Chain A
Amino acid sequence: GNSVTQMEGPVTLSEEAFLTINCTYTATGYPSLFWYVQYPGEGLQLLLKATKADDKGSNKGFEATYRKETTSFHLEKGSVQVSDSAVYFCALRALGKLVFGKGTKLTVNP
């Protein structure tokens, strides 16, 4: 079946550090890939998405590239801020159904 595996947290970084959160997936067909972010006390919101191989999604300085050959969609940001502290979820959508990873909690210290 379809599944998403993302790196376990928590991840703690200093402000302006480089961020990578790894995400790999298993899917049949041609899934779309998403990163959602959940700020403290809030629901999930879409951070970025990519709908086909080699697409790059980007938003708010975050980027992720849909790599079919390695079945990966790693999230990166060059310089994190305290306001980026949140839980990040990688997800895929195939045949209409959204499948989530377990989430990675990021804390950015000033």
Chain B
Amino acid sequence: DVKVTQSSRYLVKRTGEKVFLECVQDMDHENMFWYRQDPGLGLRLIYFSYDVKMKEKGDIPEGYSVSREKKERFSLILESASTNQTSMYLCASSLDAYKNQDEQFFGPGTRLTVL
């Protein structure tokens, strides 16, 4: 069974803290994605990676960075957390970056609250 796991289901941090959200997939997928999900806005792409050490900005990269040192792991970093980054964060992976028919597999999500 395919699996995408995220390090925490719930996280509470303070404004200004550096926050790491970790995602691991066991499907040997090339591509990994970070989204945030907010009520009324749906899912918005923050960053994605199509290979180790490669990254591309999504639609809302401001205030975030990412790291992909190993194929199976993709980290989202909030350098200095702010209250407007309180959200649900979803990680996903897919086999091929550019095959439209490939589905993305999602992790369970991390609900981050920044106080």
Spell out A's residues near B (CB within 8 Å): 30-32, 34, 36, 41-46, 49, 51, 89, 93-98, 100-103
Contact = CB atoms under 8 A, between A and B. Distances in A.
17 contacts: A31-B100, A41-B108, A42-B108, A42-B109, A43-B90, A43-B108, A44-B106, A45-B106, A46-B103, A51-B101, A89-B42, A95-B98, A96-B100, A98-B45, A100-B43, A102-B40, A103-B42
B89 to A, nearest CB: 10
A32 B109 CA distance: 24
Interface residues of B, number: 22
A89 B104 CA distance: 13
Contacts of A46: 103-105
B114 interface: no
- The secondary structure that dominates the B interface is loop
A66 to B, nearest CB: 12
A41 B110 CA distance: 10
A14 to B, nearest CB: 25
Contacts of A96: 97-100
Interface in B77-115: 90, 92, 97-109
